């Protein structure tokens, strides 16, 4: 059984990597899920609206519950986490040892540009100042640094990310 988590900061390429892996491996391999989409489906609200209405603490509680409900599966899966799942909702020491974790890493400056772009404009982190966001990135990066395989996505094109997904998929088959 192969069970993988894709972790990283917001805008690092987690969902893109998940999409490429899904294309490469096909649904016969197992499940390909995005934790944010699981939360939105369960709560019938976007993550941004949930945070806005209920607050971060409530959101992190829901995120943690959805995470642990999902990883109980007894089948192959790849789950893309939210940009703050680790360590805001789930501490590295809480992640079961049988789960493999890929860390998609990107420079803070590139993530900040993404969050300011049209695509990232409605991200909940935009309620914070740039210095507060950098503090959050540092805290999350320290947690991710504790135990994970690393994929560098610094200035990587989509074509390069797809190439990397193909190489990962070969290993997962």
CATH of the domain at 82: 3.40.50.300
pTM of the predicted protein model: 0.89
Count of structural domains, the chain:
1
Residue 148 pLDDT: 67
pLDDT single digits (tens) 49-108: 999 999 999 999 999 999 999 999 999 999 999 999 999 999 988 999 889 888 888 889
Please provide the DSSP assignment of 78-96 as one string.
Answer: EEEPPTTIIIIIS-GGGS-
Q: Using one digit for the tens of pLDDT, what is the confidence trace for 10-57?
A: 988 899 899 999 988 877 889 999 999 999 999 999 999 999 999 999
Q: Which domain holds residue 102?
A: 3-172
Query: Quick one: residue 141, left, alpha or beta (phi over 0 = left, psi -120 to 50 = alpha)?
Result: alpha
**Cβ distance 85 to 35 under 8 Å?**
yes
> What does the alpha-carbon distance between residue 18 and residue 1 come to, in Å, rounded to a whole number?
18
Helical ranges in the chain per DSSP H: 14-25, 35-43, 47-54, 56-70, 108-116, 130-145, 158-172
Q: Under DSSP, is residue 33 helix (H, G, I), strand (E, B) or coil?
A: strand
Choice between 167 and 65, residue whose per-residue pLDDT is larger: 65
Which pLDDT belongs to residue 165?
A: 81
User: Is-contact 24 170, C-beta < 8 A?
Assistant: no
């Amino acid at each position: 059984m192969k069970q993988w988590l894709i972790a990283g900061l917001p805008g690092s390429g987690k969902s893109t990597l998940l999409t490429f892996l899904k294309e490469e491996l096909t649904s016969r391999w197992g499940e390909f899920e995005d934790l944010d989409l699981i939360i939105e489906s369960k709560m019938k609200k976007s993550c941004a609206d949930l945070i806005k209405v209920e607050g971060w603490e409530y959101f992190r509680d829901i995120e943690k519950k959805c995470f642990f409900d999902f990883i109980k599966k007894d089948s192959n899966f790849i789950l893309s986490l939210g940009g703050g799942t680790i360590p805001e909702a789930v501490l590295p020491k809480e992640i079961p040892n049988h789960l493999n974790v890929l860390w998609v890493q990107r420079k803070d400056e590139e993530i900040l540009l993404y969050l300011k772009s049209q695509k990232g404009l409605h991200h909940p982190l935009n309620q914070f100042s740039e210095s507060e966001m950098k503090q959050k990135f540092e805290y999350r990066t320290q947690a991710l640094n504790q135990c994970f395989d690393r994929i560098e996505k610094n200035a990587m094109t989509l074509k390069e990310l797809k190439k990397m997904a193909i190489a990962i998929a070969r290993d997962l088959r």
